[in-house]
Structure 1
Amino acid sequence: MKWMRRFAVGLVAVLALAYVMVLGAMYLFQRDFQYDRSGRMFALSETKLDRAELVSIPSSDGSQLAAWYQAPAAGMPLILYFRGNAQSFSREHERYEAFVADGYGFLAFDYRGFPGSPGEISERNILADGLAAFDWAEAKGFPILLWGRSLGSGPATYVAKEREAGALLLESPFDSAVSVGMDRYWFLPVGLLMFDQYPVDQWIKDVAEPVFVAHGTADRTIGVQHGQRVYTLAPNPDGLWIEEGAGHGDLWDRGIWEQAKPFLARHSVP
């Protein structure tokens, strides 16, 4: 019996040590799990954006953000696009091509630490970069519509809370990064470990702009329940599109632009 007790105590000790090591690794390398900084920034010459320009946006602490900008057609607004957490904003040039084909202007950019913009990735920096992009765009004098995809739903919602825009569109949003983390790592104290928590569920309560939410039911990166909750919490909900069977990266190919245009058109006049 003694050997069984010793074995049990030893097993518990090994499991406890392994758990502590997992906690330590998740704490130290969490931003490597949370953000994908790989890839490259495309050149405008690789796209159909023949009238867009590469611009540099000054952010906090003197950082410079790489961005593409094109003014809208007469009487149209500008879409400020907050990209997700993978690679560079420039890889989504098909979206910007569709925006300008329908007369919208756009501004899209890399947060600090992603391929086009040097610096350190953190929630604080990403939120500051979002505000800097809005202020740069606002100075152009056009009405602004906010579009946040995935990770971008965090800074887009925060900017909507802090600034005045015409509308807020959230594509595959989360209610908080902690909530998403708990979906994956239910066995870890995510709320205690996570640096960058993006409490969208709190920010959205102070968003006066009309809100449209799009999500796919087969999204395994950010479950559809997150988008549904964000929409429920929005003070001014104005459209919910839940696409059956769509995953995290499917909504553009499944027609989100056609779904979004009526919403954006309703709020294009300041």
Structure 2
Amino acid sequence: MKWVKLALAGILVLFAVAYVGATSYMYVNQRSFQYDATGEVTALASAALPGAREIAIPVEGAVINGWYQPPAPGMPLILYYKGNSGSFSAEHERYAQFVADGYGFLAFDYRGFPASAGTISEAGILADAVAAYDWAAEQGSPILIWGRSLGSGPATYVASQRDAEALLLETPFLSAVTVAAERYPILPVNWVMLDQFRSNEWITDVQEPVFVAHGTADTVVGVSNGERLYELAPNPDELWIVPDADHSDLWAAGLWDQAKAFFERARTE
């Protein structure tokens, strides 16, 4: 029996060492797991946006680079907070559709993403997001906030701190730490995760009407995240759930038509 106890103790020690090692590795390298900040920057000249121009917005310790086009007279501007992958410029077809329907837009890369130099962190992303709103507000048009995936965090934060006409959240997380806990259930992510993006706390201070779009087959951010976040919104407008849609399927599923209807409702309230 003694050797059995020793064997069990040895196994427990090995498990503890492996667990601590895995946790330490994840802690040290967590931002490389959390962010996908590589990709090509599409030249504005290559996009079907002849009325847009490149902008550089100074932020303390950084400059964020993006594109801006003012709206048609009497129309609002969409302040677009990109998702996690690559550069904002890859989504130029979305911006072209905004413009075709009279909306203006401002889209940019957070510091550390392809078009903007710097180091990625939650604090930096939130500071960049607020600076982009403040720059857009100076242009004088009504502002609609759109946050996609990772961008749902800064979008929700900005809506809790500034006044816009509407907040649209595409495939949002309840919080980034919620997604991490779902993905790595055996790790103590609540204790060691640096960039937690607690949208579940920020949204309680959002007074703008809120539209949430999600797909039931989302393998990146589970649909329950969007459902739970929507339930916390003080001024919910619509929860649009698309059966069998994955994380990047909503635009093709008709999201823009849904967004336009939402924006029109929000502007006439």
- The TM-score normalised by the length of structure 2 is 0.97
Tell me how far 1:54 sits from its aligned partner.
Answer: 0.9
Residue by residue over 1:5-56, the C-alpha shift from the partner in whole angstroms, topping out at 9 and shown as x without a partner, is 3322222211111111100011000001110011121101221111111110
The DSSP-based 3-state class of the residue aligned with 2:68 is strand
Amino acid at match of 2:33: F
Tell me how far 1:268 sits from its aligned partner.
Answer: 3.7
Amino acid at match of 2:80: Y
Match of 2:10 in 1: 10
Corresponding position: 1:174 with 2:168: no
Match of 2:33 in 1: 33
Amino acid at match of 2:59: S
Tell me how far 1:2 sits from its aligned partner.
Answer: 3.3
Distance 1:89 1:147 in 2: 13
The DSSP-based 3-state class of the residue aligned with 1:267 is helix
Question: % of aligned pairs identical?
Answer: 58
Match of 2:164 in 1: 165
The ranges of structure 1 where at least 4 consecutive aligned residues each deviate by more than 3 angstroms after the TM superposition are none
The DSSP-based 3-state class of the residue aligned with 2:240 is strand
Distance 1:60 1:251 in 2: 35
The DSSP-based 3-state class of the residue aligned with 1:29 is helix
Amino acid at match of 1:13: V
Does the CA contact (< 8 Å) of 1:145 and 1:268 recur in 2? no
Tell me how far 1:178 sits from its aligned partner.
Answer: 1.1
Match of 1:82 in 2: 81
Aligned pairs for 1:1-270 (under 5 A) are 1-61=1-61, 63-268=62-267
Unmatched tracts of structure 2, length 5 or more: none
Amino acid at match of 1:95: R
Amino acid at match of 2:99: V
Residue by residue over 1:166-185, the C-alpha shift from the partner in whole angstroms, topping out at 9 and shown as x without a partner, is 00000001111111111101
Distance 1:266 1:107 in 2: 21
Distance 2:182 2:130 in 1: 29
The DSSP-based 3-state class of the residue aligned with 2:140 is coil
Tell me how far 1:120 sits from its aligned partner.
Answer: 1.1
Residue by residue over 1:117-152, the C-alpha shift from the partner in whole angstroms, topping out at 9 and shown as x without a partner, is 011111111000000000000000000000000110
Tell me how far 1:240 sits from its aligned partner.
Answer: 1.2
Distance 2:121 2:163 in 1: 24
Distance 2:9 2:159 in 1: 54
Tell me how far 1:267 sits from its aligned partner.
Answer: 2.6
Amino acid at match of 1:81: Y
Does the CA contact (< 8 Å) of 1:77 and 1:268 recur in 2? no
Residue by residue over 1:107-126, the C-alpha shift from the partner in whole angstroms, topping out at 9 and shown as x without a partner, is 00000100000111111110
Distance 1:137 1:269 in 2: 21
Amino acid at match of 1:256: L
Amino acid at match of 2:36: D
Distance 2:24 2:252 in 1: 39
The DSSP-based 3-state class of the residue aligned with 1:242 is strand
- The TM-score normalised by the length of structure 1 is 0.97
Task: Compute the RMSD of aligned alpha carbons.
Answer: 1.1
Distance 1:65 1:144 in 2: 19
Amino acid at match of 1:240: L
